[in-house]
Amino acid sequence: MKIQIRTALLALALSMSSSLWASEQYQIDTKGMHASIEFKIKHLGISWLKGRFNDFSGEFNFDEKNPASSSVEVSIDTASLDSNHGERDKHLRSKDFLDVKKFPKATFKSTKVVSDGNGVAKIHGDLTLHGVTRNIVINAKQIGAGNDPWGGFRRGFEGSTKISLHDFNIDFNLGPASKEVELNLYIEGIRK
């Protein structure tokens, strides 16, 4: 009986370690500015207001043979919001919107990855913004992978999702046409 238990534990340990070896770990390249998180929202239902978050960090694990075991975590400095207009940015950082003094970070942590096997996936995860955590789905696509000129290996993805401001208790009266934000992510990671 003891031999069977030891054998089962050894087999479990080997299967777990082999899955860890197959998964590659990447640091998102924000230092080299090869990643961005951008947003877009309708302005009064008339046109688009676009911007970005300049400061964020994160990492992801990717297993090409088993994409479902992949994961991603990102932390965003909400005060780094930049819509290319100082007064507007000040308002967007205020209590009316992001309240960056009270909520200085927004985070995303994946909970599940569903891949079609051809480089396209739905990344399910928890987005925490403005003190509220909601499950969202990011539609992701692998752009490419390969060696870089500095002896490293990189992998790049793009992703998009839409969130409702109301879901995160951001209820400033912008009118019905300006309640949903589109997020676009362009992520390049350096393999560790």
pLDDT digits (tens, 9 = 90+) for 69-123: 999 999 999 999 999 999 999 999 999 999 999 999 999 999 999 999 888 999 9
pLDDT of 59: 98
Q: What is the pTM of this model?
A: 0.85
Q: Give the pLDDT band of residue 190 (cuts 50, 70, 90).
A: very high
Task: Tell me the Cα Rg of the chain.
Answer: 20
Under 8 Å between Cβ of 50 and 83: yes
Share of the chain above pLDDT 70, in %: 86
Confidence of residue 14 (pLDDT cuts 50, 70, 90): very low
How many residues in the chain?
192
DSSP line for 46-79: TEEEEEEES-EEEEEEE-SS-GGG-EEEEEEEGG
Query: Going by C-beta distance under 8 Å and a sequence separation of 6 or more, which residues neighbour residue 29?
Result: 35, 154, 188, 189, 190
Mean pLDDT score across all residues of the chain = 89
The answer to whether 78 and 93 have CB atoms below 8 angstroms apart is: yes
Distance CA 66, CA 124 (A): 16
Confidence check: pLDDT of 140 > 50: yes
Using the CB atoms, write b or e for 93-132: b if 16+ within 10 Å.
Answer: beeebbbbeebeebbbebeebebeeeeebebebebbbbee
In this predicted structure, the answer to whether residue 20 has a pLDDT above a threshold of 70 is: no
Question: How does pLDDT run across 164-185, given as a tens digit for each residue?
Answer: 999 999 988 766 657 899 999 9
The CATH fold of domain 23-191: Lipocalin (2.40.128)
Amino acid identity for residue 183 in this structure = L
Residue 3 above 70 pLDDT? no
CA angle 94, 98, 101 (to 5 degrees): 65
Q: Which residue's structure tokens are 């995303």? A: 108
Tell me the pLDDT tens digit for each residue of 45-82: 889 999 999 999 999 999 989 999 999 999 999 999 99
- How confident is the model at residue 16, as a pLDDT? 45
Which is nearest to 47 in space by CA: 177, 170, 173? 177
If you search the block for the tokens 């998102």, which residue do you land on?
A: 28
Where exactly are the structural domains of the chain? 23-191
